[in-house]
Amino acid sequence: MNWLSLKSGSDVRGTAAGEGIELTEKIAAKLGAAFSAMLAERKGKTIDAISISLGRDSRITGEKLLNAAAEGIASAGANAVKFGMCTTPAMYMSTITPGFEQDGAIMITASHHPWNKNGLKFFTREGGLEGKEVEQLLKTAAEQGDELTSAGSRGSITEKAFLPVYTKQLADRIRSGLKTDEPEPLAGLHVAVDAGNGAGGFYASMLKNLGAEIDGSQFLEPDGMFPNHIPNPENKDAMASLRKAVLASGADLGVIFDADCDRAAVVDADGKEINRNRLIALISAILLEAQPGQTIVTDSVTSSGLKQFIEAHGGTHYRFKRGYRNVIDEAIRLNQENISCPLAIETSGHAALKENHFLDDGMYLVTVLIVKAMEMKKRGLRLGSLIADLREPVEAAEIRLSITDPDFRTRGNEAIQQVTAFAEKEDSWHIAPDNREGIRISFDLNGQPDSGWFLLRLSVHDPVMPLNAESDTPGGVRTMLAALFRVLSGMEGICLDDLKKAAEAE
């Protein structure tokens, strides 16, 4: 077996049910043992002093994989603490919360992926493991024999409840944000919660306990088959379902989480979806209102309109590479250089706030938004009014160009270099000054400065070149993609069929 094929960014992930199973209980057990050894070495402790918490989302394979990982931990001589159903952000919080302070944590989840997938995310008090660390963990696990028992004594497996503690942390953030000790600080606010049958259904109960009305909330019960819609804030059907629930119930706000609650999106009272660029604009407006002059770090595919919005609200927009760990690490680095940066956020909905340990926590993000929604409700205003001046594109497109060359990374970089070389000598092609990934080109369409752009980049893991384009004028996307097609035409090893189709579309 190729263990490294289970690596997905900074996670372990694979098929865990149905046909073609890759992620087995045996693998989970070996990874639990390997993580125990890694923590003992790093912390300079004997392995019997190591304690690791484990949680899972609602997937049908979650419980057995959690139990297997716990068995691997105990067999290695360390101590496993099972939390049961939990969220990914809560697992990190268990490493720093007084009374728990675990040496490490493991979350069994595959985020928004289909029911038959599952995976493991690993945390220490310093944050989630990075990709290289996960790769080393997989190599260590692969080298283990079938016998996991350590030379010393077997560790323990215990059960403990942490979700109530995490829930209280969120409730305390609402009270502190509203500057009140009232038992029902959300009285008068109506929020519809869509948990997508993942792990986040408890959030609706928390809001109700704080005085909010939650009529219209849906799919709160955990169901690992995800029978109603994919638990994904980027999914059109999922957002349409929440939009319908908000409008039907007359809610002030709708919120939706992915299965493990590290990503989120919202719907305003008028049914307008607030995700991707709108979500970034909304949280940026709130943070910049509190403290102007700060820097907002996002991924590379954000719009020109968002950049203008952040600058108009007194901030600096800093585009960086795709990947939630990339934007988080860059935001941390900027703060270390005394550049005030309160937020690292991807268009996918991964959002990490400095005030929350730069933990990508969709539920914490929504909690901050609900505090603002409550403040505005008291003034007769809607949350969505904060982004009324966000300029959005007239057209947008996303195409994934398949790379057929076996050496896909080299071929992809050659394509980027070819586009870059053309842009450097073509006056009408403007290379973005903050180009930090692939090649981003802006255009002056129909005489309007900076009214269109495309970004061509290489996927981190797959033989694919994602291509994003936006235009402020009708027909602009086709014009830009036609120009790009002419530049790449004739290049071997990349399938340009979809690009050609988009370039020729009427």
Strand pairing category for 7-8 and 79-85: unpaired
SS3 51: strand
CA distance 280 to 327: 13
SS3 2: coil
Bridge partners, residue 15, by sequence: 117
**Taking Cα atoms as reference points, which of 364, 417, 58, 423 lies closest to residue 225?**
58
CA distances from 287 to 4, 177, 262, 293, 313 (A): 40, 12, 20, 10, 10
**Taking Cα atoms as reference points, which of 328, 331, 332 lies closest to residue 316?**
331
Contact at 8 Å (CB) between 155 and 56?
no
Q: Is 91 left (phi over 0), alpha (psi -120 to 50) or beta?
A: alpha
Contact at 8 Å (CB) between 55 and 66?
yes
Residue 274: how many CA atoms within 13 Å on its side-chain side? 27
CB atoms within 10 A of CB 183: 10
Contact at 8 Å (CB) between 399 and 491?
no
Question: What is the C-alpha R_g of the chain?
Answer: 24
Find the length of the chain.
Answer: 506
CA distance 282 to 279: 5
CA distance 274 to 106: 31
Pull the structure tokens for residue 503: 């370039």
Pull the structure tokens for residue 304: 């020109």
Contact at 8 Å (CB) between 229 and 218?
no
CA distance 384 to 368: 14
> Which residue type, as a one-letter code, is found at position 345?
I
Per residue, the 3-state secondary structure of 244-279, as one string, reads HHHHHHCCCEEEEECCCCCEEEEEECCCCEECHHHH
- 295: exposed, middle or buried (Cβ count in 10 Å: 0-12, 13-18, 19+): middle
Which residue is catalytic, options 10, 53, 94, 111? 111
SS3 325: helix
Contacts of 337 (CB under 8 A, 6+ apart): none
Q: Is 111 a catalytic residue?
A: yes
Pull the structure tokens for residue 29: 């057990």
The residues carrying an active-site annotation are 111
